[in-house]
Amino acid sequence: MFEALFQLKDHNTSIKQEVIAGFTTFLTMAYIIFINPAMLSDAGMDHGAVFVATCLAAAIGCFVMGFLANYPIALAPGMGLNAFFTYTVVLEMGYTWQVALGGVFISGMVFILLSLFNIRKWIIDSIPQALRYGIGAGIGLFLGFIGLKNAGIVVDNPATLVGLGDVTATGPLLSAFGLFLIVALTTKKINGAVMISILAVTVLGLIIGDVQYTGIVSMPPEVAPTFMQLDIIGATEVGMLSVIFAFLFVDLFDTSGTLIAVAQRGNLLDKDGNFPRLGKALMADSTATVAGSMLGTSTTTSYVESTAGVAVGGRTGLTAVVVGILFILALFFAPLAGMVPAYATSGPLFFVAVLMLSSLKNIDWDDMLDAVPAALICIIMPLTFSIAHGIAFGFISYAAVRIFSGKINQLSISVAIIALLFVVKFIYFG
pLDDT digits (tens, 9 = 90+) for 36-58: 999 999 999 999 999 999 999 99
Residues 405, 426 contacting (CB under 8 angstroms) = no
Say what the pLDDT of residue 39 is: 93
Residues 212, 339 contacting (CB under 8 angstroms) = yes
pLDDT digits (tens, 9 = 90+) for 232-278: 999 999 889 889 988 988 888 778 777 777 777 777 777 766 677 77
pLDDT at 67 over 90: yes
Choose the weakest-confidence range: 276-290, 325-339, 390-404. 276-290
Say what the pLDDT of residue 422 is: 87
Residues 29, 352 contacting (CB under 8 angstroms) = no
Provide the terminal-to-terminal Cα distance of the chain, rounded to the nearest Å: 56
Residue with the larger pLDDT of the pair 161 and 102: 102
What is the dihedral sign for C-alpha 302, 307, 309, 315? positive
136 pLDDT band (50/70/90 cuts)?
A: confident
* SS3 at position 154: strand
Residue with the larger pLDDT of the pair 385 and 91: 91
3-state SS record for 357-399: HHHHHHCCCCCHHHHHHHHHHHHHHHHHCCHHHHHHHHHHHHH
